[in-house]
């Protein structure tokens, strides 16, 4: 453990956990927010179906697609690529509400692709973390990385909810500071994680 090769994957795991929990926190808030506020204006029951459908698609991805990707790409390439793909769809999410009547199917596609990229990120970073240390140190490093990720997951929902509430009420009409703000923070963090 003295060589600190475990540190980059640990930091990456913490950032992925933070970004993922922030997106998962703000997406339902944005989806049910009124259209006049920049939200999607979705009914809560529709949101439940949307999240369930994306969960079923995620099962397909993890059982069929992800094993193919792990055979085709290195874990480093998979992590970098999935982080960049996640960034695109994090940033795209709030723009779906601006779309035409096809926006619900577009939202399904964006949410499903976010879930796919997130699953690939977590899978790749876990393997990178395990490969960063010898077998004798894996338990200690896994515990340490889980502690850092838990800290990220503890802070993420509050940070996302507060930032989202501020973005709805700040009166600023800049795309960077309105309802898009949290999504753009998630996208920026995901790009930074990919480049880390």
pLDDT tens series, the chain, 196 aa: 557 788 899 999 999 999 999 999 999 999 888 888 888 888 888 888 889 999 999 999 999 999 999 999 999 999 999 999 999 999 999 888 666 555 788 888 999 999 999 999 999 999 999 998 888 888 888 899 999 999 999 999 999 999 999 988 877 777 778 888 999 999 999 999 998 7
Closest listed residue to residue 186, CA positions, set 27, 9, 33: 27
179 vs 167: CA distance, rounded Å: 5
CB 33 within 8 A of CB 180: no
pLDDT tens-digit readout, 139-175: 888 899 999 999 999 999 999 999 999 988 877 777 7
* Residue 172 exposure: Cα atoms within 13 Å on the Cβ side: 13
DSSP 110: H
CB 186 within 8 A of CB 23: yes
107 vs 175: CA distance, rounded Å: 19
> What pTM value is reported for the model?
0.90
Written as six digits, the tokens of 30 are 């944005």
191 vs 83: CA distance, rounded Å: 6
Cα dist from 107 to 50, 53, 117, 148, 185, whole Å: 9, 12, 15, 31, 19
196 vs 12: CA distance, rounded Å: 7
Supply the pLDDT for residue 99: 60
């Amino acid at each position: 453990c003295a060589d600190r090769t475990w540190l980059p994957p640990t930091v990456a795991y913490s950032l992925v956990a933070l970004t993922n929990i922030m997106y998962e926190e703000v997406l339902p808030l944005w989806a049910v927010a009124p259209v006049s506020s920049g939200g999607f204006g979705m009914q809560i029951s529709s949101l439940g179906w949307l999240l369930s459908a994306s969960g079923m698609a995620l099962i397909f991805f993890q059982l069929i697609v992800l094993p193919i990707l792990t055979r085709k790409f290195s874990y480093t390439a998979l992590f970098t690529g999935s982080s960049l793909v996640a960034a695109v769809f994090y940033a795209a999410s709030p723009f779906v509400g601006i779309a035409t009547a096809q926006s619900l199917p577009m939202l399904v596609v964006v949410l499903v692709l976010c879930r796919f990229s997130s699953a690939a990120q977590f899978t790749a970073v876990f393997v990178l973390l395990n490969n960063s240390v010898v077998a004798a140190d894996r338990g200690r490093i896994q515990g340490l990385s889980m502690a850092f990720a838990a800290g990220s997951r503890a802070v993420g929902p509050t940070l996302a909810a507060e930032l989202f509430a501020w973005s709805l009420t700040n009166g600023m009409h800049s795309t960077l500071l309105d309802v898009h703000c949290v999504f753009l923070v998630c996208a920026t963090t995901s790009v930074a994680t990919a480049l880390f």
